[in-house]
Amino acid sequence: MRVIIAGGGIGGLTTALSLHAAGIEAEVFESVAEIRPLGVGINILPHAVRELTELGLADALAATGIATRELRYISAHGQEIWREPRGLAAGYHWPQYSIHRGRLHMLLLAEVRARLGAGRVHLGKRMISTSQDAHGATAHFADGSSATADALVAADGIHSAARAQRHPDEGPPRWKGAVLWRATSVAEGFLGGATMIQCGHHDLKFVCYPIANNPDGTQLINWIAEKVFPEDTAWNREDWNRTADLEAFVPLYEAWRWDFLDVPALMRRAEAVFEYPMVDRDPLEAWSIGRITLLGDAAHPMYPIGSNGSSQAILDARVLAMHLKRAPSVEAGLAAYDAARRPATAALTIANRGLGPDLVLEEVHRRAPHGFARLHDVISDAELRETAQNYKQLAGFDPALLNQRESYAA
């Protein structure tokens, strides 16, 4: 069996590695002419680290990212609301990694080239449409060329050409008013050097975590400032590479200077700031049609809440390879992948619209907008626990469930 993958992002490259591990031939067609280490920090949750570990990438991940030990929720007044251990510290058999997206991307690319052969990654190949018949699936590229194989996986991101061809009336992604400013700053570590913090409330948020240790003892710290605008505000089309001006938002955080972190000072050390509207799309009725399917952001773009964008693409890749290997036909394999992954990611997309695990920040802000003397006068421990637990179950990273479930190895 041979599979064409359109899109060499996190999802596409992980699919190539997963198919190769399953003994299935794979070839990647990526639109950009040169793959560069773009983006800022992302989190790879234990359920996805498990998959990358089974692909033999544990050491490379450990050498590239930071194994996150703790997550804390903090109010806009710097008051702690909730803390929980993460990764190995939370009892998972696999760590959680906070990592630079670009470095992860380059790591995956190097592995694909080493394992499948450098000639299996084709650059400058922008897929513009797909077609299929009883014998194969074809990707048609902007340069006039095409490629045919037994199956075609469209992992071509949030502006997927394959998805647009199937759903010409879908239009642009859905924007509900939130804008994210994302950046990295080099600074001294905070709260022990392996903690992720989520601060503020629905209208103004700040998320921050270290993604690499520097030789001089400083850390590369990823941060995201998020502000909600009225829904009718005009905003720029989503583009992962659009830069922004610090002064557009740092003044909003001037009072966020706490003993463990000076937020505006960290922001002003940014290397470059990227602006991105928080968008998603409605879940689809089908991903797999015959020999062609969708994967990653092409299939289920979701709000980047709860650290699930890349993690879910990695799960897709592994489940796809497993079903293609086990099923009696290409069509049956893609249908089984669709049945396994589509409902799960649809539920997550919807949960993220409802704030996901960040719900506790909003509740505390609503009940005590000027801060609190004692947290438990405002919110009970049971409520805090329940919110955290519900989201983990939904996203498939409840520790007990994850540790016990069968491997997705083909």
Ligand X SMILES: Cc1cc2nc3c(=O)[nH]c(=O)nc-3n(C[C@H](O)[C@H](O)[C@H](O)COP(=O)(O)OP(=O)(O)OC[C@H]3O[C@@H](n4cnc5c(N)ncnc54)[C@H](O)[C@@H]3O)c2cc1C
Binding site for ligand X (CB under 6 A): 6-12, 29-32, 38-40, 42, 101, 126-127, 155-157, 161, 182, 240-241, 296-298, 304, 309-310, 313
Min separation Cβ 178 and ligand X, Å: 14
Task: Please say which residue, 319 or 378, places its beta carbon nearer to ligand X.
Answer: 319
First to last CA, the chain: 14
Min separation Cβ 95 and ligand X, Å: 18
Min separation Cβ 13 and ligand X, Å: 8
Task: Please say which residue, 158 or 191, places its beta carbon nearer to ligand X.
Answer: 158
Phi, psi for 22 (deg, rounded to 5): -90, 5
Angle formed by the axes of helices 46-54 and 10-21, nearest 10°:
40
Candidates 220, 14, 240, 385; CA nearest to 376 is 385
Using CA atoms, how far residue 10 sits from 174, 281, 302, 323, in Å, is: 22, 19, 15, 20
Min separation Cβ 368 and ligand X, Å: 30
Min separation Cβ 276 and ligand X, Å: 8
Residues with Cβ within 8 Å of 198's Cβ and at least 6 positions away in sequence, in order, are 71, 72, 73, 74, 205, 206, 207, 358, 361
Min separation Cβ 41 and ligand X, Å: 7
Task: Please say which residue, 224 or 378, places its beta carbon nearer to ligand X.
Answer: 224
Task: Please say which residue, 222 or 387, places its beta carbon nearer to ligand X.
Answer: 222
Structure tokens at 189: 């570590």
Q: Give the Cα-Cα-Cα angle 346, 350, 352 (nearest 5 degrees).
A: 115
Min separation Cβ 257 and ligand X, Å: 26
Task: Please say which residue, 116 or 368, places its beta carbon nearer to ligand X.
Answer: 116
Q: Looking at this protein, which amino acid is placed at residue 382? A: A
CA-to-CA distance for 99 and 291, rounded, in angstroms? Answer: 34
Task: Please say which residue, 48 or 263, places its beta carbon nearer to ligand X.
Answer: 48
Task: Please say which residue, 281 or 365, places its beta carbon nearer to ligand X.
Answer: 281
DSSP 376: G
Candidates 15, 5, 28, 32; CA nearest to 240 is 32
CA-to-CA distance for 334 and 340, rounded, in angstroms? Answer: 10
- Residue facing ligand X at closest CB distance: 9
Min separation Cβ 99 and ligand X, Å: 11
Min separation Cβ 11 and ligand X, Å: 3
Task: Please say which residue, 149 or 384, places its beta carbon nearer to ligand X.
Answer: 149
Phi, psi for 147 (deg, rounded to 5): -140, 140
Using CA atoms, how far residue 336 sits from 16, 153, 220, 312, 326, in Å, is: 18, 14, 41, 17, 10
Q: How many CB atoms lie within 10 A of CB 195?
A: 21
CA-to-CA distance for 299 and 156, rounded, in angstroms? Answer: 9
Task: Please say which residue, 69 or 300, places its beta carbon nearer to ligand X.
Answer: 300
DSSP 304: S
